[in-house]
Amino acid sequence: MPETTAMPDSSAAKLDAVSLRRIHHIELWVGNAKQAAYFYRKAFGFDQVAYMGPETGVHDRASYCLKQGDIFFVLTSPLTHMSPMNIWLNCHGDGVRDLAFEVADATASFNAAVARGAIPVEIPHDVESFDGAIRRAAVRTYGDTVHSFIERGDYEGFLPGFALDTVKGSNVGIHCVDHVVGNVEHHRMDHWCDFYEQVFDFSRFVSYDDKDICTEFTALRSQVMADKDRNIKFPINEPAAGKKKSQIQEYIDFNMAAGVQHVALKTNDILETISHLRDNGAEFLDVPDSYYDIVWDRVGDIEEDRQKVRDLKILVDRDDDGYLLQLFTRPLQDRPTFFVEIIQRCGSESFGKGNFQALFEAIEREQSKRGHL
C-alpha cells in the first residue's frame, strides 16, 4: 500500500517530545484468534489472561490477551465480512498490526507525534467499561503498522472491554521484549530511521551495512533505533543488491508492504527455554554442525554448557561488553513473514553480528525450499 507519511521539518526538535514508558502490548491481526491463542499457549507457554468479544459486548472482533513475564500479545480476528480487518489480512496474512506504547498522557503524546510529522490513525479518545477507563490514540509507522498510545491512569485491568479469562500455559522462561525488527522497502531505511529520530527522539544505536550482512547470494542493511534509555529498540532492515532475492524482499513481497519481521523475546536461561520450546513443537531455523567447529575460537569461554548449546543448535556471539545467545524460529504462519527470536544477553547489547552469515545462510536454505531465493 502506498506510503504518505510526512516527515517533520527542522523545527520538530523544538516541539515537545513523545515520552514513552514501555511497550504496553503487541497486537497481531490473525485469521483465527482462538486457534492462534491455542498455538501461542501450547508452543510458547503464554498464559491467556483476558478476552474481548461478543460475550463482553464487542461484536465485530474477538481478541485474546496472552501474557508471559512482562510480555503482552493480543491476538485479534474480525467476526464480520464487512470488517476492514479483512482487507488487512488479505494483504498481509497473520502479522503485527500494533506496537502499542504506555504513556503518561495519550493526548499530549499524540499531539507531539503529529506535530513532529506522524500521520494520525486514531485521535485521542476514552475507552470505558464497568471497571474503569483508559485514554488512547494512534499514529502510523512503516507499512500498515501503527503505534497506539495507552494512558492507563489508575486503571488496573489489561484494557477496558477485556474480561478476565484465565487459561494457563506452561512458562518457558521468556520475560520481556528485547527488540522488534521492521522490514522496509529498498532505500526506505533512512526515511524510517529519521522518522523515529524526529518523532520519538530515538537515536541510532548501531548500524550494519551490506558488507556486514551478506552471503554469496543476498545482502541487507540495518540500523537499530533506540529510545534514550535503550529499553525500546527497533532495528529497521532494508534489502540490498545481491545475486538473488534477499529475505527482506521476500518478506515485503509476501506482506505486500513494509512490516514487523520479528519480535525478539528475552530469557535468562536460553538452554532451558529452547529445550521447552522444542519439546512443545516450536520449529527453529537449522544451524549446521559446521558452525560449531569454528564458533568457539571467535567467541571464547561462556558460562553455558557448550555441548548443550550445540545440541540445541543455538547461535553465540561476543562483543566488547560480553556475549549473547540467540535462536530464530521459522515463520509462524504459512506466509514467510513474521517469526520470533529467543535471546539471552550476558553483557552484550549488540545483535549478533558474528552470526549474520550463519543466520542468513539458514534463511536462504528455507527460501530455496520455497523456491523464492
What are 191-203's pLDDT values in tens digits? 999 999 999 999 9
Q: What distance in Å separates the CA atoms of residue 33 and residue 75, rounded to the nearest whole number?
A: 5
What are 41-77's pLDDT values in tens digits? 999 999 999 999 999 999 999 999 999 999 999 999 9
Does this model's pTM top 0.85?
yes
Residue 66's alpha-carbon distances to 56, 103, 159, 165, 267, in angstroms, are 17, 21, 13, 10, 17
Domains defined along the chain, listed by start: 10-167 (3.10.180.10), 174-370 (3.10.180.10)
Which 3 state secondary structure label does DSSP give 76?
A: strand
Residue pair 143/257 in contact (Cβ under 8 Å)? The answer is: yes
Cell numbers standing for residue 338? 513474521
Q: Is the pLDDT of residue 303 over 50?
A: yes
What are 94-140's pLDDT values in tens digits? 999 999 999 999 999 999 999 999 999 999 999 999 899 999 999 99
- Name the percent of the chain lying above pLDDT 90: 76
Q: What distance in Å separates the CA atoms of residue 39 and residue 50, rounded to the nearest whole number?
A: 16
**207 confidence band (pLDDT: 50, 70, 90):** confident
Cell numbers standing for residue 119? 500521520
Average of per-residue pLDDT across 154-175: 96
**10 confidence band (pLDDT: 50, 70, 90):** very low
Amino acid at 121: V
Q: What is the DSSP code (8-state) at residue 336?
A: S
What are 333-371's pLDDT values in tens digits? 999 999 999 999 999 998 766 666 666 566 666 766 767
Average of per-residue pLDDT across 164-190: 96
What are 229-256's pLDDT values in tens digits? 999 999 999 988 765 677 888 999 999 9
Give CA torsion, residues 249, 251, 252, 258, to 10 deg: -120
Q: What distance in Å separates the CA atoms of residue 159 and residue 180, rounded to the nearest whole number?
A: 22
Confidence (pLDDT) at 246 = 79
What is the rounded average pLDDT for all residues in the chain? 90
Residue 287 has φ and ψ, to the nearest 5°, of -110, 120
